Structure 1
């Protein structure tokens, strides 16, 4: 029987590539698996040979020790793969198909799935609505930073690419469909971005850059991206964004220099709970900084999209409130300005097919925008370290050497 290898979280600051069991069409016991999920039969699932799997900023929260993730959890929720085995109940997906895997695991049968709320499926995680691969408190589904991975409810979850050769040619763009491109786009959509909008995006990591690309696709007149990292700001400028360096202070003055007014129509939080202060507080953790700043700079009646991750358990939180996800928000500011905001997992299936078509028909180059950089499975620990140091790259793991050299 074939073996498997995967990238496992060991302890804060450390990941390793481990030998693991070959995947089965059954959810077995293991690190982080909810006991009620153990033994769950997956005749509706497939086993994928992983073509590409990406390192995500959300993975970094776990690797930094900022969640309750258990040791030896195999990581990875951004997955694109080739079907090598299918369950007896799979009807429409075939062995050999190359597919994108939404990071949300969804059954397609519950009330929320039927309403398109696939990020909060009611049937895949006994602990709470919503599940994901290789992620803490998300049901224990094994992660995809590996050679092989199991995907349940395959007919529902998988986005099949129409042409194998075309998919492999554009694989570095298409691998972004599992999470960051739909997630960034969702941030822009929920912020109300439309033709002519002025948009401010906090955070120039891969999700922030994907949100900027999404805002451009939606017709924004000006997209402003902020960060503390000049390398990441330069990456944002490389595809036409304006930038704000928040180490120089609150963003209002810099926004006014760009737009003539100190506010924008729409804003996106692509930072999340490990936010840092602005100006003199730059570099010091201040988890409510971004949300409070966005309420200040968003015009009355505007909206804030919040794809940035916030958690209910943070062992490294700066105080007791932050350790349970309680932040000091200026909700009165938001109320007085009638600002709406949207949080939570992106329902990937709401967007992934349309974004796939934009990629396949050359309307967008998301891999170039986020500086997609291919590494081998064995190089994953180094990729994690470089990403954590602020590298302006999106690391794409290529476990089987299937990414064409010309696309690398």
Structure 2
């Protein structure tokens, strides 16, 4: 008999609950967010995972705040690391007992975009639009992984297997970041053009911003500057060697000039997204275009902007009608005049996760320390969401079976 499943469920703006949830099967059943065309979809190419670790993401927080069109009853969680406990009929290479990282992008491995390594916009896993993810609004209705168990489709293509389980469990707090946050931050730094000697400005000192800053260091940046409004998060950025600026003090360019001697950087990363606030005297007011316009101002001509921060097509909590559909007052003319390159969209995790795994295993980076990974139980997840919403400088790692604590 299958074990009981429990998961973190979105109940409406500001509220999540840990509830008993359906045990996963190799069929996508009707439920919150599931497209009608996907109901009954058979997934014999999938596996069932016993969750080892699953993380709370800033993208989850957007939904929980009520800033998306996420349906009530959605099982949350797209950052998943687990042990394979059941293998579908059509799986060839993944075996029961394997310890694996699950990219948050659900990709078929067969469509044009997947074959071009654009796994964030798979054409086959979501009937409504390109791209799918676990437990996320508009991403196909696949049940999320902030739970005890989850089904992962197209397992042979999607899963990254750790070759040595004992070694992996010894570094599980770092390796759990491979499902999203570390590749996403790395993607932001890479697409901003970060290389040896670069000067980099990262807007936002939440977990993705901290991951982007650590990734920029890994890529060889000479100076990494992180901007935010929350002192605790800025202190966390300084803890691993970043310079910081408090954007409530005013224009980031002036503070960057105090550090670099010039108000410009080579590379700009937006790790904030659509809930951005103003700078200086407007720091308390939401102004969603602020970060993008600021980055265009402070990134040198010919530079690039990596934009891993989330922007949405539907925001019921936005200040005006335009922003409710994702239309912002962006100074695209400034970006054009400076010949900026912009890269947006979901990170294609599989493009980076294997190399970042090796960097972790060979002690080339300490991503868990950089983002202040903090282990909590499944039952503590609602409190984790509340603390994260208040700006805690932590990356909450849910340990539903006590396996992370046991390894530590």
Q: Any residues of structure 2 matched to 1:208-223 within 5 Å, and which?
A: 208-223=209-224
SS in structure 2 opposite 1:138?
coil
Look up the SS of the partner of 1:403 in the other structure: helix
Matched, 1:396 2:397: yes
Contact 2:399 2:405 (8 Å CA) reproduced: no
Distance 2:168 2:84 in 1: 14
Moved over 2 A (4+): 404-407
Counterparts of 2:162 and 2:241, CA distance in 1: 29
The alpha-carbon deviation at position 283 of structure 1 amounts to 1.8
Structure 2 residue aligned with 1:345 = 346
Secondary structure, aligned partner of 2:240: coil
Counterpart position of 2:32: 31
The separation in 2 between residues aligned to 1:171 and 1:333, in whole angstroms, is 43
CA distance in 2, matches of 1:89, 1:406: 32
Which residue number in structure 2 is paired with residue 85 of structure 1? 86
SS in 2 for 1:15: strand
For 1:232 and 1:309, how far apart are their aligned partners in 2?
19
Matches of residues 129-208 of structure 1 in structure 2 within 5 Å? 129-208=130-209
What are the within-5 Å matches in structure 2 for residues 36-55 of structure 1?
A: 36-55=37-56
Deviations 1:106-148 (A, max 9, x none): 0000000000000000000000100000000000000000000
* Cα-to-partner distance string for 1:319-373 (whole Å, 9 max, x where unaligned): 0000000000111110111111100000000000000000001010100000000
Once residues 340 and 168 of structure 2 are traced to their aligned partners in structure 1, the CA distance between those partners, rounded to angstroms, is 40
The match for 1:315 is 316
Deviations 1:283-303 (A, max 9, x none): 210000000000000000000
Q: Number of aligned pairs?
A: 407
Contact 1:168/1:404 (<8 A) preserved: no
Tell whether the 8 Å contact from 1:5 to 1:18 is kept in structure 2 after alignment.
Answer: yes
1:64-86 Cα shifts (integer Å, max 9, x gaps): 00000011100000000000001
1:361-403 Cα shifts (integer Å, max 9, x gaps): 1010100000000000000000000000000000000000001
Aligned to 2:11: 10
Give the match's secondary structure for 1:377.
Answer: coil
Return the alpha-carbon distance in structure 2 between the equivalents of residues 349 and 69 of structure 1.
26
How far 1:21 moved relative to its partner? 1.2
Matches of 2:315 and 2:88, distance apart in 1: 38
SS at match of 2:60: helix
Report what 1:232 is aligned to.
233
In the aligned structure 2, how far is the partner of 1:139 from the partner of 1:315?
20
Quote the offset at 1:404 in angstroms: 3.7
Q: Give the drift of 1:405.
A: 4.8
> How far off is 1:406 after superposition?
6.5
**Cα distance in 2 for residues equivalent to 1:68 and 1:246:** 30
Name the SS for the 2:182 alignment partner. helix
Paired residue secondary structure (1:321): helix
1:3 CA drift (Å)? 1.5
**Counterparts of 1:309 and 1:303 in 2: how far apart (Å)?**
18
Question: Distance in 1 between the 2:25 and 2:388 partners?
Answer: 32
Residue in 2 aligned with 1:387? 388
SS at match of 1:131: coil
2:27 & 2:217 partners in 1: Cα distance?
Answer: 42
Q: Would you say the 8 A contact 1:69–1:136 is kept in 2?
A: yes
**Aligned partners of 1:212 and 1:241 also within 8 Å:** yes
Contact 1:50 1:146 in 2 (8 A): yes
Alignment partner, residue 326 of structure 1: 327
Residue 368 of structure 1 corresponds to: 369
TM-score between both structures, scaled by the size of structure 2? 0.99
User: Which secondary structure state, in structure 2, belongs to the residue aligned with residue 9 of structure 1?
Assistant: strand
Q: Deviations over 1:139-172 (max 9, x none)?
A: 0000000000000000000000010101111000
Match of 1:306 in 2: 307
Q: C-alpha root-mean-square deviation of aligned residues, in Å?
A: 0.6
Give the aligned partner of residue 290 of structure 2.
289
